[in-house]
C-alpha cells in the first residue's frame, strides 16, 4: 500500500502548523487522497521553511532567505491544491465536536473550522530565561526565518562588534561560528561544564579547542544573570562575576514542544511534555494525529518514548501522519538519536546512546575511543578521526557512537546508525565490507578499528 492512492474519501483533513511536519502531512495526504479537502492553518507568515539553514543565512553563507523555502505557498495552493491559511492561529481544539477555534490575525476575527481528521504539527518554541526579556534591543533567539531576518537587519544597522551566544548545543555552536564569520568577537556561554552536553567529554574538549583556535571565547559553568545596557544590549552579566561585552546577544538555550493545544484538548501527553503518539502518529483521540517537534518518538534502542526534535524526524512523522489520516497504514519506527554539526571545519556527530545513557537504560555498557587517520596514511590531506563506540559488554550489541574529525564523519556515523538500527554486534560490524580507497580511508577504516577494539572487550570474545 506504500505510496499508493489509498482513498477516494473526500474528508476534510486539517493541519495545524505549516512547516516540515505539517506540510509533509499535507502533501502526503493530497497525493494519496486527491479528493480530500486539505487545509493548513499556520500562525506565522512563513511555510515550508528550511530552518536548519538559518544560521548559515546569518553568516552570509546562504545569501537569500527565500532560498530557505522548500515549496512556495503558491505552489501548494495552485499546483497541489492544498488550502494554506497563513497568519491563522488555532486557539483551541474541540475533539468531541470535531472543530477548531481559529483567529485570523489579519483582521482579528475568530471563526469555527470543522475537521474530520486533524494533525497537530505545531512544532516547538525556544525556551528563553526570563531575564532575556529585558526590553533591550539586540537580544534575540533564532527559530523562524523572521528571527534570522531581524538579526541580520540589526547587524547591518548597528554594526555590533561583540556578541554573546548563550547555550553551547548544536545551534549555539552554529551561531557562534556564523557570527564570527561576520567579523564579530564572539563569546559562547554555557551553564554546563562542557560544550554539547550529549556528545561526551573527549569530543566536547575537541570542540572547545576548535572554538578557541578560531577566536571564539568559551565560558563554561557560567550562568547568565542579566543582559545590561541602556536602550541596547551592551554587556552580559555572569552570575559569580566576569561580565562579557555584548552588543548582540542570541539565546540558544533549548526548545520546548508547542503542545499546549493538545494538552487543553485532553490529549495524553508524553516525553518532556510533548504529545503522546503511537507508531502510526495517532494521538489518544480518534482521528487526531501529531507529528514533528510537538510530539514524541520511540527510541529504537530503549523502546522508550523520547523527545528528540529534529528536521528529519519531523518530515518522516509528517508523511506517516498524512498518509494515515487519509486511510493509509504507515508506521514511523522511531529514532536512534542521531545528530551532526560542523564547527569551523570540525565535523561532530553522535548516534545511539552515550555510555552514561546506556548504563542508565540498564545495559552493561562499555566504551572505547580510538584515533585514526581519515585517509590512507601516505595520502595527502585529511586528518585525525576520533571514534568512540559504546557497546554492551555481555552481548556485544552496538549501543552508540560519537565521532569527530575534519572529514568523512557523516558517512561514518551513518554506518553506525544502520548497524544500531539492525541491532548488530561489534563482531558483525567489524566484518562489514566497507568501501575503501586511499583518498577516503585507511584499509582499516576508523570505525572498523573501533569495533575491533570493542570486540576484544566483549565477554567471551578474544
Ligand atoms: C536554527 C535551526 C537549525 C536547525 N538545524 C537542524 C539540523 O541541522 N538538522 C535537523 O535535523 N534539524 C535541525 N533543526 C530542527 C528542525 O528545523 C525542526 O526539527 C523542524 O523544523 C520541526 O518541524 P515542525 O514542523 O515539527 O515544527 P516547526 O518548524 O516548529 O513548525 C511548527 C509551525 O507551527 C506553527 N504553529 C504553532 N502553533 C500554532 C497554532 N496554534 N496555530 C497555527 N500554527 C501554529 C508555528 O508558527 C510553526 O510555523 C533546526 C532548527 C532550527 C530552528
Q: Domain for residue 279, yes or no?
A: yes
Q: Domain for residue 43, yes or no?
A: yes
Q: Are residues 380 and 442 in the same domain?
A: yes
Range with the lowest mean pLDDT among 94-103, 235-244, 294-303, 444-453? 235-244
Q: Does residue 89 carry a pLDDT above 70?
A: yes
Residues 158, 150 contacting (CB under 8 angstroms): no
Mean of the pLDDT values across residues 76-102? 95
Q: Are residues 200 and 213 in the same domain?
A: yes
- Look over the chain and give the mean of its residue pLDDT values, rounded to a whole number: 94
* Cβ of residue 321 lying under 6 Å from some atom of ligand 1: no
Q: Does residue 333 carry a pLDDT above 50?
A: yes
Q: 258 versus 2: which is more confidently predicted?
A: 258
pLDDT of 6: 52
The beta strands (E) that lie in 330-456 are given as 339-343, 346-352, 365-373, 384-392, 398-405
What is the Å distance from ligand 1's center to 309 Cα?
A: 9
Record the cell numbers describing residue 117, joined without a space. 481528521
Mapped onto helix, strand or coil, the DSSP state of residue 160 is coil
Q: Which residue has the CA at smallest separation from atom 28 of ligand 1?
A: 123
Q: Domain for residue 338, yes or no?
A: no
Mean of the pLDDT values across residues 293-298? 98
- CA–CA–CA angle 23, 351, 293 (5° rounding): 25
* Cβ of residue 169 lying under 6 Å from some atom of ligand 1: no
Q: Are residues 263 and 197 in the same domain?
A: no
Q: Does residue 389 carry a pLDDT above 60?
A: yes
Q: Are residues 260 and 119 in the same domain?
A: yes
Q: Are residues 139 and 120 in the same domain?
A: no
CA nearest neighbour of 324 among 85, 36, 74, 41: 36
Q: Are strands 233-238 and 224-229 parallel, antiparallel or unpaired?
A: antiparallel
Q: Is 138 exposed, middle or buried (0-12, 13-18, 19+ CB in 10 A)?
A: buried
Residue to mutate (ligand 1; options 14, 16, 19; most atoms within 8 A of CB): 19
Dist. CA 409–CA 349, nearest whole Å: 7
pLDDT tier for residue 202 given thresholds of 50, 70 and 90:
confident
Record the cell numbers describing residue 32, joined without a space. 494519496
What is the Å distance from ligand 1's center to 292 Cα?
A: 8
Residue 235 is among the residues annotated as catalytic for this protein = no
Dist. CA 42–CA 17, nearest whole Å: 5
* Cβ of residue 142 lying under 6 Å from some atom of ligand 1: yes
Domain end among 325, 355, 373: 325
Q: Which residue has the CA at smallest separation from atom 3 of ligand 1?
A: 52
pLDDT of 53: 97
Q: Are residues 179 and 276 in the same domain?
A: no
DSSP state of 352: E
Of all residues in the chain, the percent with pLDDT exceeding 90 is: 87
Residue showing cell 549501543:
399
Q: Are residues 282 and 314 in the same domain?
A: yes
Q: Domain for residue 339, yes or no?
A: no
Q: Are residues 291 and 435 in the same domain?
A: no
* Cβ of residue 100 lying under 6 Å from some atom of ligand 1: no
Residue 442's CATH number = 3.30.390.30
Mean of the pLDDT values across residues 231-247? 90
Q: Are strands 398-405 and 384-392 parallel, antiparallel or unpaired?
A: antiparallel
What is the Å distance from ligand 1's center to 244 Cα?
A: 31
What is the Å distance from ligand 1's center to 191 Cα?
A: 25
Q: Which residue has the CA at smallest separation from atom 4 of ligand 1?
A: 52
* Cβ of residue 51 lying under 6 Å from some atom of ligand 1: yes
Query: pLDDT for 2-43, tens place per residue?
Result: 445 554 457 999 999 999 999 999 999 999 999 999 999 999
Mapped onto helix, strand or coil, the DSSP state of residue 435 is coil
Residue to mutate (ligand 1; options 41, 43, 177; most atoms within 8 A of CB): 43
What is the Å distance from ligand 1's center to 296 Cα?
A: 14
Q: Which residue has the CA at smallest separation from atom 26 of ligand 1?
A: 292
* Cβ of residue 92 lying under 6 Å from some atom of ligand 1: no
Chain-centre distance for alpha carbon 25: 18
Dist. CA 116–CA 288, nearest whole Å: 9
Q: Does residue 461 carry a pLDDT above 70?
A: no
Q: Are strands 305-306 and 365-373 parallel, antiparallel or unpaired?
A: unpaired
What is the Å distance from ligand 1's center to 17 Cα?
A: 9
Q: Which residues contact 393 (CB under 8 A, 6 or more apart)?
A: 364, 365, 366, 457, 458, 459
Q: Are residues 298 and 237 in the same domain?
A: no
Residue showing cell 550562568:
223
Q: Which atom of ligand 1 is nearest to the CA of 46?
A: 49
Cα separations in angstroms, 391 against 357, 386, 398, 434: 12, 16, 4, 20
What is the Å distance from ligand 1's center to 349 Cα?
A: 21
Q: Which residues contact 218 (CB under 8 A, 6 or more apart)?
A: 168, 187, 188, 190, 195, 208, 211, 212
pLDDT of 240: 79
DSSP state of 173: H
- Residue 221 phi/psi, 5-degree rounding, is 50, 35
Q: Domain for residue 308, yes or no?
A: yes
CA nearest neighbour of 419 among 333, 300, 279: 300
CB atoms within 10 A of CB 265: 20
Mean of the pLDDT values across residues 410-426? 98
Residue 243's CATH number = 3.50.50.60
Mean of the pLDDT values across residues 132-155? 92
Q: Are residues 40 and 83 in the same domain?
A: yes
Q: Are strands 217-219 and 365-373 parallel, antiparallel or unpaired?
A: unpaired
Q: Which atom of ligand 1 is nearest to the CA of 19?
A: 25
- Residue 295 phi/psi, 5-degree rounding, is -130, 175
Domain end among 199, 222, 253: 253
Sign of CA dihedral 259, 126, 319, 311: negative
* Cβ of residue 367 lying under 6 Å from some atom of ligand 1: no
Residues 283, 289 contacting (CB under 8 angstroms): yes
DSSP state of 66: G
Domain end among 192, 223, 253: 253
Q: Which domain holds residue 240?
A: 128-253
pLDDT of 9: 54
CB atoms within 10 A of CB 279: 13
Query: pLDDT for 270-290, tens place per residue?
Result: 989 999 999 999 999 999 999
Of all residues in the chain, the percent with pLDDT exceeding 70 is: 97
Q: Which atom of ligand 1 is nearest to the CA of 23?
A: 25
Q: Which atom of ligand 1 is nearest to the CA of 17?
A: 34
> Distance between the two ends of the chain, CA-based, in angstroms?
47
* Cβ of residue 21 lying under 6 Å from some atom of ligand 1: yes
Q: Which residues contact 118 (CB under 8 A, 6 or more apart)?
A: 13, 14, 15, 16, 93, 98, 100, 287, 288, 289, 325
Q: Does residue 370 carry a pLDDT above 70?
A: yes
* Cβ of residue 22 lying under 6 Å from some atom of ligand 1: yes
Mapped onto helix, strand or coil, the DSSP state of residue 68 is helix
The active-site residue out of 52, 119, 235, 294 is 52
Q: Are residues 112 and 21 in the same domain?
A: yes
Residues 354, 376 contacting (CB under 8 angstroms): no
CA nearest neighbour of 250 among 178, 311, 339: 178
Q: Domain for residue 7, yes or no?
A: no
Q: Are residues 369 and 439 in the same domain?
A: yes
Query: Into how many domains does the chain fold?
Result: 3
Q: Domain for residue 1, yes or no?
A: no
* Cβ of residue 43 lying under 6 Å from some atom of ligand 1: yes
Q: Does residue 101 carry a pLDDT above 90?
A: yes
pLDDT of 27: 96
Q: Domain for residue 185, yes or no?
A: yes
DSSP 386-402: EEEEEEETTT-BEEEEE
Amino acid at each position: 500500500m506504500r505510496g499508493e492512492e489509498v482513498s477516494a474519501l473526500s474528508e476534510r483533513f486539517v493541519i495545524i502548523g505549516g512547516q516540515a511536519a505539517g506540510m509533509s502531512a499535507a502533501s502526503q495526504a493530497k497525493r494519496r487522497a486527491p479528493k480530500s479537502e486539505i487545509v493548513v492553518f499556520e500562525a506565522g507568515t512563513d511555510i515550508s521553511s528550511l530552518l536548519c539553514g538559518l544560521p548559515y543565512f546569518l553568516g552570509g553563507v546562504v545569501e537569500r532567505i527565500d532560498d530557505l523555502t522548500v515549496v512556495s505557498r503558491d505552489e501548494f495552493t495552485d499546483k497541489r491544491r492544498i488550502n494554506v491559511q497563513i497568519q491563522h492561529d488555532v486557539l483551541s481544539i474541540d475533539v468531541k465536536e470535531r472543530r477548531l477555534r481559529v483567529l485570523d490575525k489579519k483582521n482579528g476575527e475568530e471563526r469555527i473550522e470543522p475537521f474530520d481528521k486533524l494533525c497537530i504539527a505545531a512544532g516547538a518554541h525556544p525556551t528563553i530565561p526570563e531575564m532575556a526579556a529585558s526590553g533591550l534591543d539586540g537580544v534575540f533567539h533564532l527559530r523562524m526565518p523572521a528571527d534570522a531576518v531581524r538579526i541580520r537587519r540589526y547587524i547591518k544597522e548597528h554594526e555590533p562588534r561583540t556578541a554573546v551566544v548563550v547555550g553551547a548545543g548544536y545551534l549555539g555552536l552554529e551561531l557562534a561560528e556564523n557570527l564570527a564569520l561576520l567579523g564579530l568577537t564572539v563569546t559562547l556561554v554555557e551553564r554546563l561544564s562542557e560544550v554539547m552536553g550529549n556528545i561526551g567529554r573527549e569530543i566536547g574538549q575537541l570542540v572547545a579547542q576548535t572554538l578557541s583556535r578560531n577566536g571564539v571565547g568559551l565560558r563554561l559553568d557560567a550562568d547568565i544573570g542579566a543582559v545590561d545596557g541602556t536602550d541596547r544590549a551592551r554587556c552580559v552579566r555572569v552570575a559569580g562575576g566576569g561580565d562579557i561585552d555584548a552588543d548582540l546577544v542570541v539565546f540558544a538555550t533549548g526548545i520546548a514542544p508547542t503542545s499546549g493545544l493538545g494538552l487543553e484538548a485532553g490529549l495524553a501527553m508524553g516525553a518532556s511534555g510533548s504529545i503522546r503518539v503511537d507508531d502510526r502518529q495517532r494521538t489518544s483521540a480518534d482521528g487526531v494525529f501529531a507529528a514533528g517537534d510537538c510530539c514524541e518518538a520511540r527510541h529504537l534502542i530503549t523502546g522508550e518514548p523520547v523527545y528528540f526534535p529534529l528536521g528529519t524526524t519531523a518530515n518522516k512523522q509528517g508523511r506517516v501522519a498524512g498518509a494515515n489520516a487519509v486511510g493509509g497504514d504507515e508506521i514511523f519506527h522511531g529514532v536512534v538519536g542521531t545528530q551532526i554539526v560542523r564547527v569551523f571545519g570540525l565535523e561532530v556527530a553522535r548516534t545511539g546512546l552515550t555510555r552514561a545513557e546506556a548504563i542508565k537504560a540498564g545495559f552493561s555498557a562499555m566504551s572505547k575511543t580510538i584515533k585514526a587517520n581519515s585517509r590512507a596514511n601516505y595520502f595527502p590531506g585529511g586528518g585525525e578521526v576520533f571514534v568512540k563506540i559504546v557497546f554492551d559488554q555481555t552481548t556485544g550489541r552496538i549501543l552508540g557512537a560519537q565521532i569527530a574529525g575534519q572529514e568523512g564523519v557523516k558517512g561514518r556515523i551513518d554506518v553506525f546508525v544502520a548497524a544500531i538500527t539492525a541491532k548488530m554486534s561489534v563482531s558483525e560490524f567489524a566484518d562489514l565490507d566497507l568501501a575503501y580507497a586511499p583518498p577516503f580511508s585507511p584499509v582499516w577504516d576508523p570505525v572498523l578499528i573501533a569495533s575491533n577494539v570493542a570486540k576484544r572487550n566483549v565477554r567471551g570474545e578474544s
